[in-house]
Amino acid sequence: MGSLIKNKPYLWFILPGFILYSIFIIYPIFSAAELSLFHSNGFGSKTFVGLENYRELFTNPELKRQFFNALKNNLILVVLNVGLLIPIQLYFAYVIYTRVKGYRFFQTMIFAPQFITTSVIVFLATLVFDQNIGIFNELLVKIGLGDHVRNWLGVPGYELVTLFLINAWAGVGFSMIYFVAAMKMLSDEVMEASYLDGAGYWRRFFLIIIPQIRASIVNIAVISYIAAMTTFDFSYLLGGTSGGIGNKMDVMTLFFYRITFGTNGAMGGSVSSNSVGMGTTIACVMFAIIFLVALLQLKLSYRKEDH
Amino acid sequence: MADTKRLYLTKVVLWIYSCFTLLILGYLVWNSFRSKQDVLTNTIGWPREFTFDSYAAVFRDDHFGTNILNSVFILAATLLITVILSSMVAYGLGRYKFKFKQGVMMYFLVGLMFPIQLGVVPVFLIIKNLDLINSPWSVILVLSAGLSMPVLLLTNFFSGLPEALAESARLEGAGEWRIFYRIMFPLASPVIVSLCIVLSVSVWNQFFLPLILLQDEAVKTIPLAVMKYTSNILLSMDKALATSVLATVPILLLFFLFSERIISGVASGSVKE
């Protein structure tokens, strides 16, 4: 052993982290793939069933409906986050980068909700937009618009928009800071040259800044795609384990949680005899979808970089 | 730059956003000093009385004091373990040449691609077998195992340090371990500070893992305890308000005090990827 320490010191640096990482990050991935081939609830015996769980997920009408409903909701959130929120974050970042008056204050205020935990964020939304105790409804009554009083957190047909808006208010700051940092790394000469050329505020944004931080934008797009595909907290906090009335706020992670840990939370309530088998099956399908699209996104962007 | 003077609409939007955030936090704090009856029946009226009852109640009748300690303990232990393990791994990868180094590096990066939900069932089963359900160590172990991002960040840093530093110490007879913790590790402190800021936010706000691994009221973390009160507002509006203030205001005050430092830490922590 003594010579091993002398000759291969790196082993002793790497080993402790390697073991912990292997047990709790790498092993569970393979174990999940394996468990998805069994009929099992994690206790007692498990039976090998091959791909039966996958077949059941896509043929059982109720499971299939819930899965595709959740997937659809995730995809809508992806479109809203990547198509709407990222452009806003980019623009805010540019405004802060160009040091609009009060930019330090704006930057701090926009980043602040990062430090508010999700359960408090949902509670704050309740304080403002709830049917009975929300101040928004009270204000509507005070200014004579009492007819419009309603539960703003669950307007039929707009459940996902609510989910997105709460998420946007709380999450706009993180990627914005990332974009500001990316813009600050651009060389001053390019900016000054374009400034002297007479390129206007908007021209510089679209023709100089955006093309130069394209790699950062793709990076954030992939991260926010993954985040929107795996979102859980807001759906769970607003809609409970069912994801709201008629599963309107349901997402894949919540569907997974419901099947694996039952409707009354972990360990309690109604858990099926195949909770672990079906739960890991959903997790694997979810991962396959996320991984393929993320890979495609990265590949497409790198091809563009080459030209 | 002169031409930012004209962005009237943008400035209005930014002011509305910023003031909205401040107002709603102010409203939260203000209401936490009112009685439950007053808040529920007289939502925006002038308060009938000011009271600290809600705050007393969450500590007296409930475990909120313990919930705070749990969150603090989980954060501190996770940061400590993650920083120690990831800087050791990164040092091994960044400073030594050996066979399969690229392979080991890739192995540590793979974790970035997998969402936590994929492996959570096996993790739950492992934790159950270790008899750690309802122990803060369950959350600490799983969160500390997420070494991919810290290792990536620190490996880039360590591999960029000049070899001469280690060489002169080696000539003076210092061992490899001593060179690491007396010379190299202190040099990494700016990177480690950024890392700790980014990790703190995600560990402190972690919701999914504690929800699954911590089920006893007494071992829950702050986000879960707050949820217990906010999920039934008519019953526990007062406690929901008090715990939300306690969960939010101290952290935000710290953030406002050190915002420049924290924001630049987050920015440098993410751009160096």
Which amino acid belongs to residue A220? I
Number of other residues whose CB lies within 10 A of the CB of residue A295 = 12
pLDDT at A286: 93
Asked if A301 is an interface residue toward chain B (Cβ–Cβ < 8 A), one would say no
The 3-state DSSP class for residue A39 equals: strand
* DSSP string across B217-249: GGG--HHHHHHHHHTTHHHHHHHHHHHHHHHHH
pLDDT at A66: 94
**Taking every pair of C-alpha atoms in chain A, what is the biggest distance, in angstroms?**
84
In a domain, B263, yes or no: no
DSSP-derived letter for residue B172 is T
pLDDT at A193: 76
Dihedral in degrees, nearest 10, Cα atoms B82, B253, B20, A248: 30
In a domain, B34, yes or no: no
Asked if B122 is an interface residue toward chain A (Cβ–Cβ < 8 A), one would say yes
Interchain contact, B252 vs A284, CB within 8 Å:
no
pLDDT band at B43 (very low <50, low <70, confident <90, very high): low
Mean pLDDT value across chain B: 88
Residue B196: which CATH number? Answer: 1.10.3720.10
Interchain contact, B4 vs A201, CB within 8 Å:
yes
The secondary structure element, H or E, covering residue A48 is strand A47-48
In a domain, B45, yes or no: no
In a domain, B199, yes or no: yes
Closest C-alpha among B196, B197, B76, B64 to residue B136: B76
In a domain, B226, yes or no: yes
**Residue B108 · residue B152 · CB < 8 Å:** yes
Per the structure, the complete domain to which residue B188 belongs is given by: 63-231
d(CA B59, CA B43): 25
CATH annotation of A66-306 = 1.10.3720.10
What's the pLDDT tens digit per position in B230-256?
Answer: 888 888 888 999 999 999 999 999 999
In a domain, B131, yes or no: yes
Cβ-nearest to B92 among A14, A133, A134: A14
d(CA A5, CA B174): 14
pLDDT at B4: 64
d(CA A265, CA A268): 6
Dihedral in degrees, nearest 10, Cα atoms A56, A61, A62, A65: 100
Cβ contacts of B4 on chain A, cutoff 8 Å: 95, 98-101, 201
**Residue A21 · residue B92 · CB < 8 Å:** no
Radius of gyration of chain A (CA): 24
Closest C-alpha among B51, B163, B161, B201 to residue A174: B201
d(CA B108, CA B149): 9
Q: Is the pLDDT of residue B3 over 70?
A: no
Average pLDDT, 10 consecutive residues per value, chain A (307 residues)? 66 95 95 94 84 93 94 96 95 91 91 93 91 82 80 84 92 91 84 76 86 88 90 92 88 93 58 87 93 78 57
Which amino acid belongs to residue A156? P
Which amino acid belongs to residue A146? G
Domain count, chain B: 1
Number of other residues whose CB lies within 10 A of the CB of residue B159 = 12
Interface of B with A in 176-195 (CB under 8 A): 176-177, 180
- Which two three-digit tokens encode residue B165? 């530093």
Cβ contacts of A113 on chain B, cutoff 8 Å: 21
For B217-233, what is the mean pLDDT?
Answer: 90
Interface of A with B in 191-220 (CB under 8 A): 195, 200-201, 216, 219
In a domain, B9, yes or no: no
The 3-state DSSP class for residue A38 equals: strand
Pick left, alpha or beta for residue A271 (phi over 0 → left; psi -120 to 50 → alpha; otherwise beta). beta
**Residue B4 · residue A95 · CB < 8 Å:** yes
pLDDT at B120: 93
ipTM of the predicted structure?
0.90
- Which two three-digit tokens encode residue B214? 């911590």
Distances (CA, A) of A138 to A185, B17, B116, B160, B268: 47, 21, 41, 59, 44
pLDDT band at B224 (very low <50, low <70, confident <90, very high): very high
Interface of A with B in 43-82 (CB under 8 A): none
In a domain, B202, yes or no: yes
Q: Which of A35, A120, A195 to mutate to test the interface with B (most CBs of B within 10 A)?
A: A120
What's the pLDDT tens digit per position in B47-64?
Answer: 667 788 889 888 888 889
Q: How many residues does chain B have?
A: 273
Cβ-nearest to A9 among B113, B176, B230: B176
Distance from CA of A249 to the nearest CA of B (A): 17
Task: Give, to the nearest 10 degrees, the angle between helix A103-111 and helix B8-32.
Answer: 50
Q: Is the pLDDT of residue B271 over 80?
A: no
